[in-house]
Structure 1
Amino acid sequence: NVKETGTIIRFKPTATIFEETSFSFDTLSNRLRELAFLNRGLKIVIEDERDTRNHTFLYKGGIIEFIKTHPNSDQVSATVGCD
């Protein structure tokens, strides 16, 4: 048996608290992607219930994987050590 663990966060802004209740899926996705790189092995799923868009981010290599996916990764020096 696999024991599933984790936290589910649902965000539904209300106009009584927030001036703006519409958020950019792309902006939130980009930020969560960055967080997934910074927290290697952390799986982050974002789903937009307004339509069918969703993304899953999981980077076992963390920041090293980010460097490898960067368009200019050939210009980055070799990794000395990172944990």
Structure 2
Amino acid sequence: MLVVFRAYGPVRDVVGSKTVDRELPPGATLEDLLTGLLEEHPDLTDLLCADGDVGDAVSLTVDGVNVSRLDGLETTLSAGDEVRAAPPIHGG
């Protein structure tokens, strides 16, 4: 199944591209996607991970829903899902 990873800000700087397409097996999770990206781009670790979970240096969403409102790293992905990693937005 094809999943799209969109990178913004410092994540895009590390990945070198705004969009990365990934072919994953059915039933793959967000953790599966991120593990592959971290293997290719180890510098993403500090941006995406903290203590074995999703860090707060960037906001991770699946189809517009923050993964903290889903199942975190265990969020199951589906074909056509769009995962975004962007700096968090703070209001004021």
Higher strand share: 2
**TM-score of the two chains, using structure 2 as the length reference:** 0.24
Which structure has the higher relative contact order (CA within 8 Å, separation 6+)? 2
* Alignment TM-score, normalising by the size of structure 1: 0.25
Q: Which one has a bigger Cα radius of gyration?
A: 1
